[in-house]
Amino acid sequence: MVYAYIWPYDRAVKPMNRQKKISIILAEDQDLMRQSLKALLGDYEEFTVVGEAANGKQLLDLLKTVSADVVLLDLEMPVMNGREALLVIRSKYPDVKVILLSMHNSPEVMMDLMSCGARAYVPKGSDVDALLSTIKQVDEFGYFFSEEVSKAMRNATQRDKEENTINEDAPLSDREMEVMKELCKGSTAKEIAATLFLTVRTVEFHRLNIYAKTNSHNIAELVKYAIKHGIVGTE
């Protein structure tokens, strides 16, 4: 049985001023939920909904013609589910930031989705402030690790403690450590280059070395590594 979920919010909340609007695509198969989200975001001047999709296939078709900063993506949808769509987006539209919405909040599901390319994970039923804050954090910094996701990462790290993921023969250089911290913030290669006064090509070279030395295959694994070794915090 499928239950319609309407996101709770207070229409009395005043819109916040912002020059740059965050463009958002809503991908949710339940019409009531999708319209609820659209109405919520419409109450804030800093957000603009540029498209809607009822399944993963519609979303991918939409992305061919519509540009968006953020996609709010439901996990369970017909035709093509959120996880399947997420993998395609990570490959074809890497600049699109995907926030997963789901009723499932198990650590295993969270870690799997972050590993597939999700920039944040918001359980359905979270309060409005949490959702809006997540959208803004993801748009500005690239990723947002909520307390639930951070806890899942810490638990996964605890389970993996017996595994030696450090390549002791190839320690990270000081410069690689700097690049790694920026990567964990969600910074792009161009942003890192500007911050550290490097070329984009040099940043990409460091990134490849960092992934190899830490045995990481994606940003979620890299962040997990960084948390495990105290390179970045979980706050």
* CATH 1.10.10.10 placement within the chain: 165-228
| Number of neighbouring beta carbons within 10 Å of residue 38 | 17
* CATH 3.40.50.2300 placement within the chain: 22-154
pLDDT, averaged across the chain? 81
Q: Give the CA angle between residues 212, 213, 215 to the nearest 5°.
A: 65
Lowest mean pLDDT among 11-20, 95-104, 138-147, 225-234: 11-20
Query: What's the pLDDT band for 190 if we cut at 50, 70, 90?
Result: confident
CATH code reported for the domain at 22-154:
3.40.50.2300
Taking the C-alpha atoms of residue 68 and residue 53, their distance in angstroms, rounded to an integer, is 13
Query: What's the pLDDT band for 63 if we cut at 50, 70, 90?
Result: very high
Q: Do the Cβ atoms of 74 and 102 come closer than 8 Å?
A: yes
Query: What's the pLDDT band for 3 if we cut at 50, 70, 90?
Result: very low
Taking the C-alpha atoms of residue 211 and residue 203, their distance in angstroms, rounded to an integer, is 12
Lowest mean pLDDT among 25-39, 72-86, 129-143, 210-224: 210-224
Topology of the domain comprising 165-228:
Arc Repressor Mutant, subunit A (1.10.10)
pLDDT of residue 66: 96
